[in-house]
Structure 1
Amino acid sequence: MLSPKNVKFRKQFRGRTKGSPDRGNTLSFGDFGLQAIECGYVNARQIEAARVALTRHAKRAGKSWIRFFPDHPVTKKPAEVRMGKGKGATDAWVARVKPGKILYEMEGIPREVAKEAMKLAARKLSVKTRFVERSK
């Protein structure tokens, strides 16, 4: 699973997930991409599951990039524990996604294969996405 090697603070506030990203909203590396169209959290398991679906459908041809990283800790208290006694332990690492953020990129494969691979990857994610391609 993806997670940071070290962090300055173990626990963070939830914060807000609205607005558009100021960076990472255009294709930088590949010819085809998967772009988020809504706000939300995508956890490390979902990111890995989508990556596996992407590379398997493309039969490991071409090259792919993951353009986001789960650097935000989500805490959770254990089941059947009373309220109080502080904040729970880190349960998962999530990436905060805003509309317009490019999540995955691919190149070196035909358009139809890339589109189907992105469609399979999108099913693994918890945010709505769309297929984008570089304008020639």
Structure 2
Amino acid sequence: MAQMPRRVKHRKVQRGHIKGNATRGNKVVFGDYGLQALDPGWLKAQTIEAGRIAAQQYIRGEGKLYIRVFPHRSITSTPLETRMGKGKGEPEYWVATIKPGTILYEIGGVGEQQAKICFARLAHKMPFKVRMVKRLPM
């Protein structure tokens, strides 16, 4: 089931712009390898879940998968064939706002070749360019 917040302060938010690079959440912290976004964009909750399922099916309980993003933002839309002037539409789905450099997923407990293949499967599902990064030595 796709993720969404239990409660939010504001149900509907404005679209805004995604400016700058990620300063937080841009380093591999939990696992050994990470999948890093190279472009800005919105990542749907359904896409996050699809990536989770694809990764879990590949690693089959050998390693551990960490999801580093959460969809906090609601995206609204009005129904088709509706005239103008009836206000903003109802929330349709939830997205995570992704800046370039954000780590999306992390994997620990698997080899580099396995992580590369797993992240290649995930990269096909992402709506923007991504790359695999290693954890920096302490």
The answer to whether TM tops 0.5 is yes
Instruction: Flag structure 2 segments of 5+ consecutive residues without an equivalent.
Output: none
Superposed, which structure 2 residues align to 1:8-87 within 5 Å? 8-87=9-88
2:135 — aligned with what? 134
How many Å apart are 1:67 and its aligned residue? 0.4
Alignment check: 8 A CA contact 1:35 1:102 kept: yes
Match status 1:100 vs 2:104: no
% same residue: 45
CA RMSD of aligned residues (A): 0.9
Q: Write the letter of the residue equivalent to 1:97.
A: I
TM-score (norm 1): 0.97
How many Å apart are 1:91 and its aligned residue? 0.5
Alignment check: 8 A CA contact 2:34 2:104 kept: yes
How many Å apart are 1:120 and its aligned residue? 0.5
Alignment check: 8 A CA contact 1:41 1:127 kept: no
Paired residue secondary structure (1:93): strand
2:7 — aligned with what? 6
Alignment check: 8 A CA contact 2:65 2:107 kept: yes
**CA deviations over 1:51-74 (Å, ceiling 9, x no partner):** 111111111211111001000110
Alignment check: 8 A CA contact 2:28 2:136 kept: no
> How many positions carry a matched residue from both structures?
136
Q: Write the letter of the residue equivalent to 2:82.
A: V
